[in-house]
Amino acid sequence: MSDKNFDLDLILDPVLYHRIKEQTDLNLELFQQLAGEFSQEELSIIHTPSKGTKITNGYRLDNCPYQVLDLIRDFDPETAFNIRILNWWGNGLFVFVLYGKDTSIRMGDSIQRLSKHYFVSDQISIWDYKKIISNSLCKKNTDNNPTSDFYQIFKRIQPDVDFYKTYSILKKEITFIFDNHY
């Protein structure tokens, strides 16, 4: 038998769950509008193997809810290029840019420009966001990270309470990445 107790105030609080649902839906709407800004044709011009955009909603990223917008969606170890917007409840809003081995070499100048504004992940796993974000070894430079197949940079985004301002912040960030992808 468990020695833990149920928090009935939490479990029976309908306002809390309505607020969580409302905010989740708002984040999904934000990501849908951002995804709609970039057609598959445009994404294929930026990166030929593009698979478009995808929005994901989950509840258990290190036990916290999350929403993800992926743009480009090429995760091949050699050719990868992906922009991931991660809204991670309790942790923040982030932009991750992922490069495959060949892409990181070919886009070296682009990475150099972006890394003035982004942190370089030093984690082997490109999916271990808790370690990526919290690791004190992350630094703003282009030293080789230890991932043998991928190179990843990221940035924390400060959202605004206003939907359209947050939308503009993220659209500007995505455009900045695309404008420097050459």
Instruction: Write down the pTM of the prediction.
Output: 0.90
On whether the CB atoms of residues 40 and 63 are closer than 8 A, the answer is: no
Q: How far apart are CA 14 and CA 59, in angstroms?
A: 18
Residue-wise pLDDT tens digits, 16-70: 999 999 999 999 999 999 999 999 999 999 999 999 999 999 999 999 999 999 9
